[in-house]
C-alpha cells in the first residue's frame, strides 16, 4: 500500500455515505473513475451518491445502466441527505464544479481530491494529485488497490474507458509503456476493448456528425499554418439537433491539419461565455496559457471559460500564442 493513499483510507474508514463528483461536461475519465471507485466502495459496504454538475453525455450512458449518475440540478429531494464524505475526481478547481460548487463549499463534510491536472484550488481537504498520470483512471485503479478491493469486470470496463479516452485511444503523447501495461491488466480483469471502441466511437448520432461538419467547415489556419482554429456557435445546436456534449473531442480535428502545432476550438456556451479547448503538439504549454484565462489543464490539452464575444476570445488567444511559436 502506498502511503500516498492514506488520506483516502482515512476518509473511507470514517464515512458511511460518500458523494463522488467530477467536472462540468463530464468525460470518460471523470465518469469512468467515479464509477469504478463507487463499485469498490460498495463492496466495502459504503453507500455512494454519484453527482455530476451537468447532465450525462449520451455517449457514456452505457456506463450507467442503473441510473446512478445524477445531475446536481435535477437531484431528487433528499438525495444528498446524510452524506458524510466527499471525493472530487478529475478536477481540483472550483470553477469546474459548476452549480455543485456552492453545495461543496457549504457542506460540513470531510473531502478529498483525486486528480492528475496541474491546476488546483484549495477545495478544503487533502489532495492526491499525480500530474504524471495519463488519466485519473490510473489513480482510481491505484486507489482501488490501496483499498484492498479486487477489480470487478464492471470496474475494469469503467477504468478502461477512463484511460482510453484521456489518451485518445492510446494515441496521445501521454501514452507510455505503463499505460499499455495498465490496459492489459484491465482487459485481464474483464474490459473488452473492441466492444468499448464500438460503443464510444461508432455510435455517433446523426446530429453529432452534422455538428462535426460545422466544425470542419469553419476550420481555418493562421500563423503560417501552425495554428488551426474552429468554432461551435449556439445556433449550430439548433440547426443540427446536437447537444453541447456532442462537441466532445471535436477539438482534435484542429490537429488533423498538416503542420499544425496548436489547435483551438471555441464553443459558445448556453449559460454565456465561450469555452476554449486547446491542444498543443509543440513546446507551447497550453495548460499555462489556459490559466491566464481562468482555466487550466495539461501541457498538451487544456481549457477555460472566457466571458467575452467569441471573436474577441480568438484574438486574445492568438495574441498570446503567436509570439510563443517558433518560426
Write out pLDDT tens, residues 136-159.
999 999 999 999 999 999 999 999
Give mean pLDDT, residues 121-149: 97
Are 242 and 51 spatial neighbours (Cβ–Cβ below 8 Å)?
no
Prediction pTM value: 0.86
- Residue 2 is predicted with a pLDDT of 47
Strands, E assignment, 96-213:
111-115, 127-129
Local structure of residue 211 (DSSP, 8 states): H
Share of the chain above pLDDT 90, in %: 92
Q: What is the pLDDT of residue 297?
A: 87
E strands present in 59-177: 69-71, 85-89, 111-115, 127-129
pLDDT in tens, 29-60: 999 999 999 999 999 999 999 999 998 998 99
CA dihedral 263, 313, 242, 33 (to 10 degrees): 60
Our CA angle for 117, 120, 126, nearest 5°, is 100
Q: Does 1 have pLDDT greater than 80?
A: no
Residue 327 has pLDDT above 80, yes or no: no
Amino acid at each position: 500500500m502506498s502511503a500516498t493513499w492514506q488520506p483516502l483510507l482515512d476518509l473511507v474508514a470514517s464515512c458511511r455515505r460518500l458523494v463522488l463528483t467530477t467536472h462540468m461536461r463530464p468525460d470518460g475519465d471523470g465518469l469512468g473513475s467515479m464509477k469504478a471507485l463507487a463499485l469498490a466502495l460498495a463492496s466495502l459496504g459504503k453507500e455512494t451518491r454519484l453527482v455530476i454538475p451537468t447532465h450525462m453525455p449520451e455517449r457514456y450512458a452505457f456506463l450507467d445502466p442503473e441510473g446512478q449518475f445524477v445531475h446536481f440540478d435535477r437531484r431528487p429531494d433528499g438525495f444528498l441527505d446524510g452524506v458524510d464524505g466527499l471525493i472530487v475526481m478529475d478536477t481540483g478547481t472550483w470553477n469546474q464544479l459548476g452549480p455543485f460548487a456552492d453545495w461543496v463549499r457549504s457542506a460540513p463534510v470531510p473531502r478529498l481530491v483525486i486528480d492528475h491536472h496541474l491546476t488546483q484550488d484549495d477545495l478544503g481537504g487533502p489532495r492526491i494529485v499525480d500530474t504524471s498520470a495519463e488519466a485519473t483512471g490510473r489513480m482510481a485503479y491505484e486507489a482501488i488497490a490501496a483499498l484492498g478491493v479486487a477489480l470487478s469486470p464492471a470496474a475494469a470496463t469503467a477504468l478502461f474507458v477512463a484511460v482510453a479516452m484521456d489518451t485518445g485511444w492510446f494515441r496521445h503523447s501521454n501514452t507510455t509503456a505503463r499505460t499499455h501495461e495498465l490496459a492489459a491488466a484491465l482487459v485481464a480483469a474483464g474490459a473488452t476493448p473492441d466492444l468499448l471502441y464500438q460503443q464510444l466511437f461508432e455510435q455517433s448520432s446523426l446530429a453529432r456528425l452534422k455538428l462535426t461538419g460545422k466544425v470542419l467547415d469553419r476550420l481555418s489556419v493562421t500563423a503560417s499554418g501552425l495554428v488551426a482554429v474552429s468554432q461551435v456557435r449556439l445556433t449550430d445546436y439548433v440547426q443540427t439537433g446536437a447537444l453541447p456534449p456532442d462537441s466532445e473531442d471535436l477539438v482534435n480535428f484542429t490537429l488533423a491539419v498538416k503542420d499544425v502545432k496548436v489547435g483551438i476550438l471555441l464553443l459558445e456556451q448556453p449559460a454565456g461565455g465561450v469555452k476554449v479547448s486547446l491542444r498543443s503538439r509543440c513546446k507551447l504549454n497550453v495548460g499555462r496559457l489556459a490559466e491566464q484565462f481562468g482555466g487550466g489543464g495539461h501541457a498538451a490539452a487544456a481549457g477555460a471559460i472566457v466571458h467575452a464575444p467569441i471573436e474577441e476570445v480568438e484574438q486574445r488567444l492568438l495574441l498570446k500564442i503567436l509570439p510563443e511559436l517558433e518560426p
